[in-house]
Amino acid sequence: MDIHKPKAIHSWREFLKELGTIVLGILIALGLEQAVEARREHQLAAEAHEAILAEMQVDLDRVDYRMRQQACRPPPHRGPERVGRGLARGPRGAGRAQCRLPR
C-alpha cells in the first residue's frame, strides 16, 4: 500500500475541497448506518407483528372454546324479583337451541 505524505494546503479552495471530501464521507457512512438500522427495526417489527397475530389466534381459540362450553350450562341464579318478571314473559331462551355441542 502506498502512503502519501500530507501536503500543505495553500489556498481556501484546497481547504474547502478537503473538508467537503471528509464531510461527504461522514454523511455516506451515517446514511448507510441508518439504512442498516431501519432494516433491522423493520425485521423486528415484522417478528413482533407475527407473534402478536399468533397470540391473538390462541386467545380467539380459547374464547371460542369457552363460549361453546358455556352454551351447555344453565344460566346463573337470579334474584326472586327478576325470576318473577322472567316467568311473566315466558321461558328463558325460548326459540333458541338448548345446548350446542363443541365442534
Establish if 94 belongs to a structural domain. Answer: no
Q: What is the spatial distance between Cα 71 and Cα 100, in angstroms, rounded to a whole number?
A: 6
Taking the C-alpha atoms of residue 92 and residue 86, their distance in angstroms, rounded to an integer, is: 7
State the Cα–Cα distance between residues 30 and 53, nearest whole angstrom: 34
Whether residue 28 lies inside any domain: the answer is yes
Q: Does residue 45 sit within a domain?
A: yes
> Do the domain assignments include residue 7?
no
**Tens of pLDDT, residues 71-103:** 776 666 655 555 555 555 555 554 444 555 555
* Torsion angle of C-alpha atoms 31, 36, 42, 47, degrees rounded to 10: -170
The answer to the question of residue 59 being in a domain is yes
Residue-wise pLDDT for 31-69, tens only, equals 999 999 999 999 999 999 999 999 999 999 999 888 888
Is residue 18 in some structural domain? yes
Question: How many structural domains comprise the chain?
Answer: 1
Would residue 90 count as lying in a domain?
A: no
